[in-house]
Amino acid sequence: MVSSHWDDTFAGRVHHRGPDVLIVERTPEHTDGVLLEERSRLRLALTGPQLALLGPAAGASAADVQALIADSPLSVDDPGLVHYLAPERASALSSAPPPEPAQVRVLGEQDRAGFEELLAGVPEDEQEEAEVDLDDWLVLGAFEGDRLVAVTSSYLQTEDIADIGVLTVPDARRRGHGLRLVAATCRQLLHRGVVPQYRADPANGRSLELARAAGFVAFGSWATVLGPPTS
C-alpha cells in the first residue's frame, strides 16, 4: 500500500529517467510539486510551469537535479523524514490489542479548553512542526489527573494512509506519554484499515527517537516544491 501510494504520486508523464532519478510532470489540477529522496534514488513530480523553470535535465543524476533545483527559481519547503511501521510492529499492534491505558482516550469538542491550554504551554515552532489539530480525523490525548499533557492527531492523507502529529507539554516529557499515545493511535488506525505515517524534522532528535521507539522505520525525505513565484 505504501509503495503503491508513492508510485501513484510519481505516475505522471516521464520527463527524465536515470539510474537514480525520476522526474515526471504532474497533471494540471496540481499547483505544487513533490520531492522524495530515498536511499538510492530521487523522485521529483513537477507541474508544467515548474518543469520550465527547472531547465534541461537530460542525462542528469540525482545530484545534478538537486543542483538544478537550487539554481532555479523553485522553492522547496522544509523536508520531513517519512516513517512507516516495521511489518512485525504493525502485526503486533493489529493482533489482539490490549486495552488502552486509563490515562489515554479519544478527544472531542468537549476537550477544547484543555487542548488550547496545552497549546499555550508549547513553543510555537513545535506546534507548527507537529501540526496537531482537535478537528483532525482521529485525536487522542494523554492525561495526568485531569490535565491534558500530550496529544496525537491524525489526518487522512489518502483513503488508506493517515499522517500522525504528536505534541507533549515540556514539563511532562520523558514520562512515556508520547510513546503510549503513538502506539494507541497506530492500533486504532490499523484496526480501521489505515496505514500510520509519521513525519519528523530530520534535525529533531527527540521526534526521531520517538519514531524508532514506536517501531517506525524511515522511508524517505519528502518535501513540497512550491509553485512558481507570482509577481
pLDDT at 83 over 90: yes
Please identify which residue in the block is written with the cell numbers 514506536: 214
Cα angle for residues 123, 149, 130 (degrees, 5° grid): 45
Query: Which H helix or E strand runs over 126?
Result: helix 124-130
Angstrom distance (rounded) from CA 186 to CA 38: 24
pLDDT in tens, 204-219: 999 999 999 999 999 9
The residue type of 69 is I
CA trace torsion 121, 125, 131, 132 (10° rounding):
-10
Domain 87-214 homologous superfamily, CATH? Gcn5-related N-acetyltransferase (GNAT) (3.40.630.30)
- Three-state DSSP class for residue 108: coil
DSSP string spanning 59-71?
A: T--HHHHHHHHHH
Least confident among 6-10, 15-19, 93-97, 199-203: 93-97
Report, as an integer, the average pLDDT of 122-134: 94
In the chain, pLDDT over 70 holds for what percent of residues?
98
Residue 96 has what pLDDT?
67
Using CA atoms, how far residue 60 sits from 11, 13, 94, 191, 230, in Å, is 19, 17, 43, 43, 28
Intervals of CATH 3.40.630.30 along the chain: 87-214
